[in-house]
Amino acid sequence: MNTSWEPIAECLRNEVAEYGRLLSLFGEQQNLIFKRDPENVLHLAHAIQDQVGILDRARAEREGRVRDFALALGQAPAATLRSLLAWVAPEARPLFEALITDVNLLIHRIRRSSRLNHRLLSSMVECHQEVLRRLRPDAFTLTYSPSGRLAVAAGRRAPSISTAG
């Protein structure tokens, strides 16, 4: 077992960088939503999923390092990093405090960006559905979903819209 805190600091730095990349992707997605570029929004959604996978691996690595550090010190394997700061060199504690704060702040910003983008995408879909309902009212039926939300069910197939002439 390793009682060195340096690998944990490196994992935290890596995690901060990966969270920053995810936040950047959410910002890019928001710009594409405003530009009404559905193809690139979809492409970026795949990149966001990939980045979330990278983040999951980075977080798991950091948690493993913290667990190993705790065990090496005779502490509980579920000990938090903050509770283990007493065993980190005093000159490195501010670094750890800053990295932990940065990770938590980035998580908060990512959650907020994710919710905003989800609301924007939902609004775009609702707007698109409304246009389609106006163009082809016979093709849609409003119903309630099992959760009590208003849902649109495709009705009988209406004739397609064609030009006159």
Beta bridge partners, 140, equal 154
| Residue 155: per-residue pLDDT | 57
Topology, domain 6-154: Methane Monooxygenase Hydroxylase; Chain G, domain 1 (1.20.58)
pTM: 0.76
Indicate the angle between helix axes 38-72 and 6-34, nearest 10 degrees. 160
Residues lower than pLDDT 50 in the chain: 158-159
For the chain, the domains span 6-154
109-125 confidence digits (pLDDT tens): 999 999 999 999 888 88
How many other C-beta atoms can be found within 10 angstroms of the C-beta atom of residue 10?
Answer: 13
- Residue 73 CB coordination number (10 Å): 14
Q: Which amino acid is at 38?
A: P
Give residue 158's pLDDT: 47
Q: What Å distances lie between residue 156 and 17, 84, 138, 140, CA to CA?
A: 51, 64, 7, 8
Token pair recorded at residue 37: 């570029």
